[in-house]
């Protein structure tokens, strides 16, 4: 690594990215390539001799960019977006530049200590109870994903309960969630060796806005206990993936407490909104839960990847995940006065994620970050109003955050084969495909109680009201042709 050549190439790369952002609206939002496109245009093997960075960048322009779906486009309204920011990028760049694996304190003390500090800072911004902060006996860790946070907490819960009941009882442990809970819980339960028969999915319905019902949960728990099973883990979601439904945390956490469940709150997307005092009520009841996670890369301007996980009693997690081989033994760890984050996650080696979160928190400050959240909420409200004004469309579920779930309403569809809801679903599917195929914007869908729904999350950093109204015009134009 030659410092001067690094400087030259680094400048080239920044120029490349600045141009990319400058021109981002000129690209089709969803990539238009066909499967296998890249293999056809790439050499069959790696080059034997070095190539110039300029040549490689030219290939990025010509071969890679066409296969990119532009998540940072202001016209990207699919899945849950991952809004980039200058501070997030610079923090990530610095972390990559320093390239320190920081698995324990001594392997890079600043990496660990900064992570302790930013987790407390963000915890305070969210008004988490003191018990979740390092300063109050709890603590937080930055992981790659919510899936990882869910798996790690599930394993901690499993081991804690099995220490009490005996390892041979693993097959009796029960995991609870709703049918709207993210699929990562099921995956986590499989990896954690849970009995698939003991994965309780409580059914939700439109009439209760797809919330997990505490009474149904309690009935399921009672029935399991009666059958000799051991209730273990409850996942409560604030802002479900399909429709941003909000489970009633306060009541559910009481049920969890009563039956000694490990309660985890998954607020992957919506959690960031709770830094605004007016949205903090979504976390009421958090004082009764064991763990809480959100993805700062989903709505807090922090570049991928950055999942923030807080625990009231990290020792449960540490007991499950710690290892201490000879080759890692050191005085600081022996004192037990330092945090060794290798014991808070799956991998040993870890990235210095705290830097980018620290950059974001410092560069924007709490006030501007709240403004970012509020701006997205305001645009979603505006979009919801646009949908309501066109009688051919309907909003399908109440909006809590910055995502609107809508569809072409059944009343606007002349049923062609008398198949009612199927025809309506088909029209909506076609509408989504035709809009996405245009490259002008990109949205994704979900299915709620058999109803095909178009999701429209407004989260992008570059998205403004003009993009929202332009997107709505595109949608209306495509609907005009489809419904004609």
Q: How far is the CB of 191 from ligand PLP (least distance, A)?
A: 13
Give the nearer residue to ligand PLP in terms of CB position, either 297 or 312: 297
Distances (CA, A) of 375 to 204, 270, 360, 435, 474: 31, 14, 17, 25, 22
Helix, coil or strand: residue 395: strand
Segment interacting with ligand PLP (CB under 6 A) among 26-34, 186-194, 265-273, 405-413: 265-273
Q: Please tell me whether residue 145 binds ligand PLP under the rule CB under 6 A.
A: yes
Give the nearer residue to ligand PLP in terms of CB position, either 72 or 409: 72
Segment interacting with ligand PLP (CB under 6 A) among 19-27, 57-65, 263-271, 281-289: 263-271
d(CA 99, CA 107): 12
Token pair 């996670």 is found at: 293
Residue 142's Cβ-count burial label (10 Å; 0-12, 13-18, 19+) is: buried
List the one residue from 73, 178, 237, 303 that touches ligand PLP (CB under 6 A).
Answer: 237
Query: CA 255 from chain center: how many Å?
Result: 26
Q: Please tell me whether residue 241 binds ligand PLP under the rule CB under 6 A.
A: yes
Contact pattern for ligand PLP over residues 159 through 198, marking x by CB under 6 A: -----------------------x-x--------------
Q: How far is the CB of 323 from ligand PLP (least distance, A)?
A: 24
Segment interacting with ligand PLP (CB under 6 A) among 25-33, 45-53, 223-231, 235-243: 235-243
Q: How far is the CB of 295 from ligand PLP (least distance, A)?
A: 5
Q: Please tell me whether residue 307 binds ligand PLP under the rule CB under 6 A.
A: yes
List the one residue from 204, 295, 320, 345 that touches ligand PLP (CB under 6 A).
Answer: 295
Q: How far is the CB of 184 from ligand PLP (least distance, A)?
A: 5
d(CA 101, CA 215): 46
Q: Please tell me whether residue 266 binds ligand PLP under the rule CB under 6 A.
A: yes
Give the nearer residue to ligand PLP in terms of CB position, either 143 or 161: 143
Three-state helix/strand/coil letters over 69-120: CCCCCCCEECCCCCCCCHHHHHHHHHHHHHCCCCCCHHHCHHHHHHHHHHHH
In a 13 Å sphere around the CA of 302, the CA atoms on its Cβ side amount to: 31
Give the nearer residue to ligand PLP in terms of CB position, either 184 or 303: 184
Token pair 């109003």 is found at: 385
Segment interacting with ligand PLP (CB under 6 A) among 261-269, 366-374, 406-414, 424-432: 261-269
Q: Please tell me whether residue 147 binds ligand PLP under the rule CB under 6 A.
A: yes
Q: How far is the CB of 106 from ligand PLP (least distance, A)?
A: 29
Q: How far is the CB of 79 from ligand PLP (least distance, A)?
A: 7
The secondary element (H helix, E strand) that includes residue 174 is strand 173-178
Segment interacting with ligand PLP (CB under 6 A) among 144-152, 165-173, 199-207, 328-336: 144-152
Q: How far is the CB of 475 from ligand PLP (least distance, A)?
A: 23
Contacts of 334 (CB under 8 A, 6+ apart): none
Q: Please tell me whether residue 80 binds ligand PLP under the rule CB under 6 A.
A: yes
Q: Please tell me whether residue 446 binds ligand PLP under the rule CB under 6 A.
A: no
Closest CA to 282 of 126, 81, 124: 126
Q: How far is the CB of 240 from ligand PLP (least distance, A)?
A: 6
Q: How far is the CB of 225 from ligand PLP (least distance, A)?
A: 28
Q: How many Cβ atoms from other residues are within 10 Å of residue 312's Cβ?
A: 21
Give the nearer residue to ligand PLP in terms of CB position, either 249 or 424: 249
Closest CA to 322 of 310, 305, 338, 307: 338
Token pair 């599930």 is found at: 154
Q: Please tell me whether residue 269 binds ligand PLP under the rule CB under 6 A.
A: yes
Segment interacting with ligand PLP (CB under 6 A) among 52-60, 89-97, 141-149, 251-259: 141-149
Instruction: Kindly state the number of chain residues that form the binding site for ligand PLP, as judged by CB under 6 A.
Output: 14
Q: How far is the CB of 269 from ligand PLP (least distance, A)?
A: 5
Q: How far is the CB of 189 from ligand PLP (least distance, A)?
A: 14
Which tokens sit at 286?
């958090």
Helix, coil or strand: residue 33: coil
List the one residue from 73, 112, 116, 146 that touches ligand PLP (CB under 6 A).
Answer: 146
d(CA 229, CA 276): 41
Segment interacting with ligand PLP (CB under 6 A) among 24-32, 132-140, 236-244, 343-351: 236-244
DSSP notation for 323-391: ---GGG--HHHHHT-S--GGGGSS-SS---THHHHHHHHHHHHHHHHHHHHHHHHHHHHHHHHHHHHST
d(CA 295, CA 307): 4
Provide the phi-psi class of 450: left if phi over 0, else alpha when psi is between -120 and 50, else beta: left
Strands 199-202 and 173-178, bridge-based pairing: parallel
Chain residues in the site for ligand PLP (CB under 6 A)? 80, 145-147, 182, 184, 237, 240-241, 266, 268-269, 295, 307
């Amino acid at each position: 690594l030659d410092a001067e050549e690094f400087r030259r190439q680094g400048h080239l790369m920044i120029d490349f990215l600045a141009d990319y952002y400058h021109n981002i609206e000129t690209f089709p939002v969803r990539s238009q390539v066909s499967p296998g496109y890249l293999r056809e245009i790439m050499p069959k093997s790696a080059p034997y001799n070095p190539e110039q960075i300029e040549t490689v960048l030219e290939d990025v322009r010509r071969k890679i960019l066409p296969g990119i779906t532009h998540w940072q486009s202001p016209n990207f309204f699919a899945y849950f977006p991952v809004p980039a920011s200058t501070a997030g990028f610079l923090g990530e760049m610095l972390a990559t530049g320093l390239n320190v694996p920081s698995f324990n304190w001594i392997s890079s003390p600043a990496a660990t200590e900064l992570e302790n500090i930013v987790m407390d800072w963000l915890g305070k911004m969210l008004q988490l109870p003191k018990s979740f902060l390092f300063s109050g006996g709890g603590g937080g860790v930055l992981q790659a994903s919510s899936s990882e946070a869910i798996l790690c907490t599930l394993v901690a819960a499993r081991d804690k309960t099995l220490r009490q009941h005996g390892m041979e009882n693993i097959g009796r442990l029960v995991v609870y969630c709703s049918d709207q809970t993210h699929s990562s819980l099921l995956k986590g339960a499989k990896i954690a060796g849970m009995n698939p028969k003991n994965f309780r999915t409580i059914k939700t319905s439109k009439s209760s806005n797809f919330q997990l019902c505490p009474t149904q949960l309690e009935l399921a728990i009672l029935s399991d206990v009666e059958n000799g099973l051991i209730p273990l883990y409850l996942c409560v979601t604030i802002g479900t993936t399909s429709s941003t439904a909000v489970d009633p945390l306060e009541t559910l956490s009481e049920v969890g407490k009563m039956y000694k469940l490990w309660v985890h709150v998954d607020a992957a997307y919506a959690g960031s909104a709770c830094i605004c005092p007016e949205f903090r009520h979504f976390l009421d009841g958090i004082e009764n839960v064991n763990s809480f996670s959100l993805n700062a890369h989903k709505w807090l301007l922090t570049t991928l990847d950055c999942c923030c996980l807080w625990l009231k009693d990290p020792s449960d997690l540490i007991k499950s995940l710690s290892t201490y081989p000879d080759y890692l033994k050191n005085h600081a760890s022996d004192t037990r006065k330092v945090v060794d984050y290798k014991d808070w996650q799956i991998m040993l080696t870890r990235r210095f994620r705290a830097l980018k979160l620290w950059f974001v928190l410092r560069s924007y400050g709490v006030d501007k970050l709240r403004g970012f959240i509020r701006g997205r909420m305001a645009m979603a409200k505006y979009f919801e109003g646009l949908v309501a004004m066109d009688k051919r469309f309907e909003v399908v579920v109440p909006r809590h955050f910055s995502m609107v779930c809508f569809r072409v309403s059944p009343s606007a569809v002349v049923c062609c084969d008398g198949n009612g809801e199927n025809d309506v679903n088909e029209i909506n599917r076609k509408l989504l495909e035709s809009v996405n195929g245009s490259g002008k914007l990109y949205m994704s869908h979900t299915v709620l109680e058999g109803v095909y729904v178009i999701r429209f999350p407004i989260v992008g950093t570059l998205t403004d009201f003009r993009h929202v109204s332009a997107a709505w015009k595109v949608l209306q134009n495509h609907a005009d042709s489809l419904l004609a």
